[in-house]
Amino acid sequence: MDNSIAHLKLTGTQINYYFLCQRKLWYFAHDIQMEQNNDAVYLGKLIHETSYEREKKEIDIDGTIKIDFIGKDRVIHEVKKSDKVEEPHIWQLKYYIWYLKQKGVEGVTGKINYPKLKKILDVVLENGDMEKIETIMVDINRIITSPLPPVVNRMKICKSCSYGDICWV
């Protein structure tokens, strides 16, 4: 792997936010977090904490990525509350698979669990994904190292976003 990408040490949350909202990505990287006072986020955390209690939870790898739990046959799981925006979840998991691959762990696939919806989504690395992830990483680094947060248009998700107040006030 390209060394300049490896040292970026991006977290899964950052990959997720890159697809969700790049302002959120910037604020989050600057430790300006809003989660603590948002009901929707708190609910998400609760679901996280109370579902799949039997499985081993939160596997921390290099202090960089945190996998919710690992199932049989090298399947990594990510638990999410709602499937309203699937793309960020999918890329978060693809990034984990990519990350493990860099560390020499092959044959990993992923599943996104939506316990509230009783739904499971399969995720695998497809052709071209490796390159795309590397481009994304460089772009994330560009965003979080720029002095100002990027300007984004008001989206549907802004309404329930914990950063809504700081963005639009």
Partner 1 sequence: MYVIVVYDVDQKRCGKMLKLCRGYLHHIQNSVFEGEITEAKLEELKIKSRKIMREEDNDSLIVFKSRNEKWLEKEIVGTDKRPVDNVL
Partner 2 sequence: MKQNYYIFNNGCLRRQENTIFFEKEDGTRNVIPIENTEAVYAFGEIDFNTKLFNYLAQKGIPVHVFNYYGFYSGSYYPRETLNSGQLLVKQVNHYTNMRHRLALARAFVNGASFNIVKNLRYYNNRGKDLGEYINAIEGYRSRIEESGAVEELMGIEGNIRNTYYKAWPTIIDCEIEFERRVKQPPDNMINALISYLNSLVYTTCLGEIYHTQLNPLISFLHEPGERRYSLSLDLAEIFKPIFSDRIIFTLLNRQQITNKDFMTEVNLCYLNESGRKTVVREYDERLKTVITHKKLERQVSYRHLVRLECYKLVKHLIGEQEYEGFKIWW
Torsion angle of the four alpha carbons 94, 98, 104, 105, in this order, in degrees rounded to the nearest 10: 0
Q: Which two tokens stand for residue 11?
A: 């977290």
Contact between 159 and partner 1 per CB under 8 A: no
CB 16: neighbour CB atoms within 10 A? 24
Residue 71 contact partner, candidates partner 1, partner 2, none, CB within 5 to 8 A by sort of partner: none
User: Is residue 57 a contact partner of residue 69, using CB atoms and an 8 Å limit?
Assistant: yes
Q: How far is CA 59 from the centre of its chain?
A: 14
Binding window for partner 2 (CB under 8 A); candidates: 42-50, 96-104, 127-135, 143-151: 143-151
Contact between 43 and partner 1 per CB under 8 A: yes
Q: What angle do CA 79, 81, 84 make, to 5 degrees?
A: 115
SS3 168: helix
Between 46 and 157, CB nearer to partner 1:
46
Contact between 141 and partner 2 per CB under 8 A: no
Contact between 128 and partner 2 per CB under 8 A: no
Contact between 110 and partner 2 per CB under 8 A: no
What is the C-alpha separation between 97 and 103, in angstroms, rounded? 10
Between 63 and 147, CB nearer to partner 2:
147
Contact between 49 and partner 2 per CB under 8 A: no
Binding window for partner 2 (CB under 8 A); candidates: 11-19, 28-36, 78-86, 104-112: 28-36
Contact between 50 and partner 1 per CB under 8 A: yes
CB 77: neighbour CB atoms within 10 A? 18
Between 6 and 46, CB nearer to partner 1:
46
For partner 2, the binding residues in 148-167 under the rule CB under 8 A are 148-149, 164-166
What is the C-alpha separation between 10 and 13, in angstroms, rounded? 8
Chain contacts with partner 1 (rule: CB under 8 A)? 39-40, 42-43, 46, 50
